[in-house]
Amino acid sequence: MTKFEDEKRKLDKQELNEDRERLDKDMHEKTHSTKNDSFSKDRTDATPHDIDTHMQANPGASGEGHGAIDQESLPRSTPGWRILIQEVIHDKLALFSFIILVVITSYVFGLTLFLKQSEIVFVDLFAINEPPGDTFRLGTDYGGRDVFGQLIIGTRNSLAIGFLVTGISVGFGVVYGVVAGYFGGHIDNIMMRIVDFFMVLPFLMVIIVYVTISPDYDILSFSLIMAAFLWVGTARLIRSVAIQEKELDYINASRTLGSSHIKIIFTQLLPNLVGIIIVNATLNLAGNIGIESGLSFIGFGFPEDTPSLGTLMSYATQTQTLRHRPWIWAPAAILILVLMLCVRNVGEAMRRAGDARQRNA
């Protein structure tokens, strides 16, 4: 191996260590401290359980003579997603947040089945800037449009785009990260240089330019252009985890038994990353809703006839509206805050679940 290659590998190792540290930090961040006191307690909680499972596994089943273990009676480890759910249910704040989220989402999506977007964004010049009253539950905006209806449709649009962008970007980022991390070497090197490049792009500005010059854009193309810049974080995270994971014995065993790379990646590596992927997606969801509402706020998200929560907020850029007509923007502001807080609460609880020492459940 040439000297240069050697150096390169070492650099990569450092990078990996860095990534690991960062990841570890991320994982520990929140409740490391709170758990410090109950740390020993957690340990003692965990130990008897462990012993328990081993005891069940060993005798009885392996009585065949060769000392072979009967695969069927081996206790199965709890799958990652179930640990996440357990943790969320155990954490009362997270559970409460999750229930609020479900209620808001189903209420909004249910109600929009009966509301017509064109009726809500219909301009009524006889009812401009009306405060909340009998006819309009939350008043009207400068175009005489019902704020309540806009709020419902806006929440739906914001949530929809949040889910869509998160789905696309996390999906792509996961595949990209797993491939880079699993294969390593030159492939990883090239793929990560591309990621580095995306990291330094001023993506808000590129999105704004796109929105301006593209003649017709809808929810799908808008989500795609956002996702085109937002997958890199996920890709980096997943790559660093995949690098650690692929060194483990089960991957080697699978390789030795002759499984193809594709099979290993999709049936063995990915299932073991599900926990981290879900956590990452949840935290990204909060961020993406924030980015979308920010873009709509400065007028480069959706057009006014497709309101989002950010569109309602953007009316507050007019001084008169900001100062004297809070009913137009305050509900949207509160909703954004509530949504982001709830999503983050659930995400943080699941992130804690990723570290056995910090689990509550």
Rounded to 5°, the CA angle 15-24-352 comes to: 150
Which one, 200 or 262, has the nearer CB to other proteins?
200
Q: Which residues pair with 140 in a beta bridge?
A: 146
Which one, 182 or 222, has the nearer CB to other proteins?
222
b/e per residue, 66-86, with b = 16+ CB within 10 A? eeeeeeeeeeeeeebeebbbe
Q: How far is the CB of 336 from other proteins (least distance, A)?
A: 7
Which one, 29 or 304, has the nearer CB to other proteins?
29
Placement of tokens 């590596």 in the chain? 269
Q: How far is the CB of 317 from other proteins (least distance, A)?
A: 7
Q: How far is the CB of 33 from other proteins (least distance, A)?
A: 4
The two three-digit tokens of residue 167, written as one number: 């789905």
246, with CB counted inside 10 A (0-12, 13-18, 19+), is buried
Which one, 69 or 322, has the nearer CB to other proteins?
322
Q: How far apart are CA 355 and CA 207, in angstroms?
A: 36
Which one, 71 or 319, has the nearer CB to other proteins?
319
Residues that bind other proteins (CB under 8 A): 7, 10, 14, 18, 21-22, 25, 28-30, 32-34, 36-37, 193, 196-197, 199-202, 204-206, 208-209, 212-213, 286, 290, 293-294, 297-300, 313, 316-317, 319, 322-323, 329, 333, 336-337, 340-341, 344
Q: How far apart are CA 74 and CA 67, in angstroms?
A: 14
Which one, 136 or 297, has the nearer CB to other proteins?
297
Q: Select from 159, 141, 162, 163 the least CA-distant residue to 150.
A: 141
Q: Which runs of consecutive H residues, i.e. helices, occur in the chain? A: 3-28, 32-57, 80-90, 92-111, 117-120, 147-183, 185-199, 203-213, 219-230, 232-246, 249-256, 261-263, 270-297, 309-314, 319-324, 326-353
